[in-house]
């Protein structure tokens, strides 16, 4: 790969341009029916959607129960009236290979890959081509990214990579500008800030930065879609967009710790903050030979040189300084992270809150465990008040489950809490009763917790939670920060990163401390419960000690447990 003006450019570039179906006048020539039958067959192929919402389709996500460590968002180009499922077929070759799902997922198995679906038909008719502004398209996409099931860009230190083709590149540029504007407004939109904070880079296929003379709609019925107007040669709107995006990228690279884009004091990933990769040099004009614009992003194998360049670019964004794993994330600054944590919960406050704790549960062990979960957003997601409320909530559950960190494990060990399963096999003579500050129990939780904290021996050695205080605290933080089957994570609930769906609203499951009770032990909810009341009182006490209001929805007495209709 080559560096040019601080950006990363993909190669081999000239070979790609030579195969593009353009001429010196910037005219894109569309294949006739005879010439382009294979392409059109692919474009018209349809498949069932795995949709998160109207604008987002899942191409790939890690197996159930495993968190994702990066998000890759694909945005397609204009398409013809005959096209179906452009959000998928754009990235699918003639042999049916969808390279994000079939190739890229092998290299980045912990990536979440979403494709944007939007109305970009080149002609207008009664059902298609009614979007009349690039701004409106991007506005809808931005809103869809932030809906609860998608929640794109809201996980701390989880890089987002945008991949665009043709017009999709400008949708990406526009949505980035809108996210910046939303953050700069008086409302200080937190979701927009989080999105900007996590952007890792861009891969653009055939972006017409200076416009292009379109011949696409000459073969189609209906009138030209107004959305194509911005693609005219030297269109002022397109020029302004390119200039604004270029300035934003330079600003993000140079001032990634600036108060204007991010909260003061928050650490950022090391290395180049925002990079751009592209399938051609500067894309200002096309004058190379003949070829096919539509196939430029339809990679057919891992041996495809351009695909390999894309893969290398993504690996460079995700590569850690200390690890060669392409799916790892660059390291945080441990000193800065520890300062963030100790400012939120000083050692003296922790000791005062748990005066009768046993020596096993030390502040230093808790801090060591927290350092491994700051990259996942603990103690850094949300506003400062939300961060304090989250810590108060976690400590309240610690206090309730262990009588003030007085016990390492449950006194009731008659039940081994073993649910026979080939995926989570119980080991002979082992008990999976409650251990640690949150009293982790059941064999399946020990198995998944071990995978989550990087210790695969927890299923065979569950007693580790009673022997190593750091592992004990890690088990509690794993449960706290991890989505539990049909339940959101306690972390997302307390930091404003979870939005209730209609079924949750009907069941009175609303964000607040009460919902964390429901997640941890739903049997205490939808009734009057002494245990639930005890948790609430402890939470209120800890909030007072941390100088933060407890917020709304502290109780779960009127909440239905998850799964209950």
As given in the structure block, the two tokens for residue 433 are: 């009763």
- The residues facing 79 across adjacent strands are 121
Q: Is the pLDDT of residue 48 over 60?
A: no
Question: By C-alpha distance, which of 290, 23, 313 is closest to 162?
Answer: 313
Q: What's the rounded Cα separation, in Å, for the pair 160 and 275? A: 11
Q: What's the rounded Cα separation, in Å, for the pair 479 and 295? A: 45
What is the per-residue burial (b if ≥16 Cβ within 10 Å, else e) of 146-170? bbeebbbbbbbbbbbbbbbbbbbbb
Which pLDDT band holds residue 319 (cuts at 50, 70, 90)? low
Q: Is the pLDDT of residue 1 over 60?
A: no
For residues 316 and 347, the model is more confident at 347
Co-location of 187 and 275 in the same domain: yes
Q: Is the pLDDT of residue 395 over 80?
A: yes
> Highest mean pLDDT: which of 3-17, 134-148, 217-231, 511-525?
511-525
> Highest mean pLDDT: which of 42-46, 278-282, 480-484?
480-484
Q: Is the pLDDT of residue 413 over 50?
A: yes
| pLDDT on residue 136 | 83
Q: What's the rounded Cα separation, in Å, for the pair 58 and 76? A: 14
Is the distance from CB of 376 to CB of 479 less than 8 angstroms?
Answer: no
Question: By C-alpha distance, which of 247, 107, 230 is closest to 168?
Answer: 230
Co-location of 64 and 212 in the same domain: yes
Q: Is the pLDDT of residue 451 over 50?
A: yes
As given in the structure block, the two tokens for residue 321 are: 């300084």
| pLDDT on residue 480 | 95
Which pLDDT band holds residue 35 (cuts at 50, 70, 90)? very low
Co-location of 309 and 385 in the same domain: no
CA distances from 158 to 70, 147, 270, 490 (A): 5, 17, 13, 18
N residues, the chain: 565
As given in the structure block, the two tokens for residue 340 are: 């963030």
Q: What's the rounded Cα separation, in Å, for the pair 564 and 557? A: 14
| pLDDT on residue 507 | 93
- Could you tell me if residue 19 is inside a domain? no
Co-location of 504 and 416 in the same domain: yes
Q: Is the pLDDT of residue 26 over 50?
A: no
- Could you tell me if residue 150 is inside a domain? yes
Q: Is the pLDDT of residue 371 over 80?
A: yes
Co-location of 249 and 384 in the same domain: no
CA distances from 333 to 371, 374, 377, 399 (A): 10, 11, 14, 31
The dihedrals phi and psi of 224, each to the nearest 5 degrees, come to -65, 135
440: helix, coil or strand?
strand
Q: What's the rounded Cα separation, in Å, for the pair 36 and 222? A: 21
What is the per-residue burial (b if ≥16 Cβ within 10 Å, else e) of 361-377? bbbebbbebbbbbbbbb
Q: List, in order, residues 6 or more apart from 98 with CB less than 8 Å away.
A: 59, 88, 91, 92
Domain CATH code at residue 482:
1.10.530.10
- Could you tell me if residue 109 is inside a domain? yes
Domain CATH code at residue 204:
3.40.50
- Quote the percentage of the chain above a pLDDT of 70: 71
Is the distance from CB of 104 to CB of 311 less than 8 angstroms?
Answer: yes
Q: What's the rounded Cα separation, in Å, for the pair 304 and 314? A: 16
Which pLDDT band holds residue 210 (cuts at 50, 70, 90)? low
Is the distance from CB of 169 to CB of 207 less than 8 angstroms?
Answer: yes
Question: By C-alpha distance, which of 381, 379, 390, 341 is closest to 363?
Answer: 341
Q: List, in order, residues 6 or more apart from 249 with CB less than 8 Å away.
A: 274, 276
- Could you tell me if residue 563 is inside a domain? no
For residues 510 and 309, the model is more confident at 510
| pLDDT on residue 30 | 32
Q: Which residue has the tokens 């003639």?
A: 94
- Could you tell me if residue 26 is inside a domain? no
- Quote the percentage of the chain above a pLDDT of 90: 34
Q: Is the pLDDT of residue 186 over 80?
A: no
Average pLDDT over residues 158-168: 87
- 326-367: per-residue pLDDT in tens? 322 233 345 556 888 988 999 999 999 999 999 999 999 999
Q: What's the rounded Cα separation, in Å, for the pair 433 and 443? A: 9
Co-location of 376 and 295 in the same domain: no
Which pLDDT band holds residue 6 (cuts at 50, 70, 90)? very low
Co-location of 418 and 395 in the same domain: yes
Co-location of 218 and 79 in the same domain: yes
- Could you tell me if residue 426 is inside a domain? yes
Which pLDDT band holds residue 244 (cuts at 50, 70, 90)? confident
Co-location of 361 and 317 in the same domain: no
- The residues facing 71 across adjacent strands are 112, 160
Co-location of 350 and 475 in the same domain: yes
For residues 25 and 310, the model is more confident at 310
Q: What's the rounded Cα separation, in Å, for the pair 335 and 144? A: 36
Q: Is the pLDDT of residue 60 over 50?
A: yes
> 65-74, 281-290, 416-425, 516-525: lowest mean pLDDT where?
281-290
Total domain count for the chain?
2
Average pLDDT over residues 515-540: 96
Question: How much is the pTM?
Answer: 0.48
For residues 258 and 188, the model is more confident at 188
The dihedrals phi and psi of 269, each to the nearest 5 degrees, come to -65, 150
Co-location of 412 and 484 in the same domain: yes
The helix, strand and coil proportions of the chain, stated in percent and rounded to the nearest 5, come to 40, 10, 50
As given in the structure block, the two tokens for residue 476 are: 């509690």
| pLDDT on residue 203 | 84
- Could you tell me if residue 148 is inside a domain? yes
- Could you tell me if residue 551 is inside a domain? no
Co-location of 353 and 306 in the same domain: no
Average pLDDT over residues 144-148: 86
For the chain, the average pLDDT equals 75
DSSP-assigned letters across all residues of 491-549:
HHHHTT-----HHHHHTT--SSHHHHHHHH-GGGSSS--HHHHHHHHHHHHHHHHTT--
> 110-114, 158-162, 380-384, 434-438: lowest mean pLDDT where?
380-384
Look up the domain containing 237 and give its range.
51-258+269-321
What is the per-residue burial (b if ≥16 Cβ within 10 Å, else e) of 231-240? bbeebebbee
Q: Residue 243: is it exposed, middle or buried by C-beta count within 10 angstroms (0-12/13-18/19+)?
A: exposed
For residues 427 and 120, the model is more confident at 427
> Highest mean pLDDT: which of 80-94, 278-292, 548-562?
548-562
| pLDDT on residue 16 | 27
DSSP-assigned letters across all residues of 113-155:
EEEE----BSEE-SSS-----HHHHHHHHHHHHTSTTT-TT-S
2: helix, coil or strand?
strand
Q: Is the pLDDT of residue 256 over 60?
A: no
Average pLDDT over residues 268-285: 33
């Amino acid at each position: 790969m080559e560096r040019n003006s601080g950006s990363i450019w993909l190669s081999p570039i000239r070979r790609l341009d030579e195969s593009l179906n353009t001429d010196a006048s910037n005219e894109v020539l569309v294949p006739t029916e005879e010439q382009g039958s294979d392409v059109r067959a692919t474009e018209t192929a349809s498949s069932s959607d795995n949709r998160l919402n109207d604008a987002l389709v899942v191409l790939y996500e890690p197996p159930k129960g495993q968190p994702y460590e990066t998000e890759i968002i694909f945005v397609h180009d204009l398409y013809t009236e005959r096209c179906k499922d452009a959000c998928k077929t754009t990235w699918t070759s003639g042999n049916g290979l969808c390279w994000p799902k079939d190739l890229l997922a092998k290299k980045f198995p912990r990536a979440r890959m979403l494709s944007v679906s939007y109305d970009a038909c080149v002609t207008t008719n009664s059902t298609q081509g009614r979007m009349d502004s690039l701004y409106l398209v991007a506005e809808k996409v931005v809103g869809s990214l932030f809906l609860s099931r998608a929640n794109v860009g809201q996980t701390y230190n989880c890089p987002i990579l945008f991949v665009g083709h043709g017009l999709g590149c400008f949708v990406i540029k526009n949505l980035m500008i809108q996210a910046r504007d939303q953050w700069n407004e008086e409302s200080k939109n937190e979701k927009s800030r989080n999105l900007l904070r996590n952007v890792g880079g861009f891969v653009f296929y055939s972006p017409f930065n200076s416009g292009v003379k379109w011949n696409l709609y000459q073969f189609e019925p209906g009138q030209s879609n107004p959305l194509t107007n911005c693609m005219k040669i030297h269109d002022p709107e397109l020029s302004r967009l390119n200039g604004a995006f270029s300035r934003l990228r330079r600003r993000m690279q140079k001032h990634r710790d600036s108060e204007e884009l991010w909260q003061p004091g928050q650490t950022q990933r090391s290395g180049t903050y925002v990079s751009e990769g592209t399938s051609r040099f500067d894309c200002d004009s096309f004058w190379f030979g003949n070829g096919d614009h539509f196939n430029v992003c339809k990679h057919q194998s891992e041996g495809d040189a351009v695909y390999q360049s894309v893969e290398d670019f993504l690996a460079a964004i995700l590569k850690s300084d200390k690890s060669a794993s392409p799916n790892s994330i660059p390291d945080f600054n441990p000193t800065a992270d520890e300062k963030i944590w100790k400012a939120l919960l000083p050692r003296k406050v922790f000791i005062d809150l748990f005066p009768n704790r046993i020596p096993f549960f030390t502040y230093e062990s808790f801090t060591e465990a927290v350092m491994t979960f700051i990259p996942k957003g603990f103690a850094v997601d949300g506003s400062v008040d939300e961060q304090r409320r989250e810590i108060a909530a976690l400590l309240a559950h610690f206090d309730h489950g262990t009588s003030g960190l007085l016990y390492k494990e449950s006194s009731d060990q008659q039940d081994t809490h073993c649910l026979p399963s080939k995926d989570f096999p119980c080991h002979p003579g082992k008990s999976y009763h409650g251990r640690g500050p949150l009293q982790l129990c059941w064999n399946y939780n020990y198995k998944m917790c071990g995978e989550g904290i990087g210790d695969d021996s927890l299923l065979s050695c569950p007693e580790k939670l009673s022997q190593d205080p750091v592992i004990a605290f890690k088990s509690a933080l794993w449960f706290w920060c991890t989505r539990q089957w049909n339940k959101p994570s306690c972390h997302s609930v307390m930091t404003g990163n979870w939005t209730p769906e209609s079924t949750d609203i009907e069941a009175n499951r609303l964000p607040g401390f009460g919902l964390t009770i429901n997640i941890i032990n739903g049997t205490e909810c939808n009734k009057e419960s002494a245990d639930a009341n005890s948790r609430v009182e402890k939470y209120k006490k800890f909030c007072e000690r941390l100088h933060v209001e407890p917020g709304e929805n502290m109780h779960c007495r009127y909440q239905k447990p998850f799964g209950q209709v």
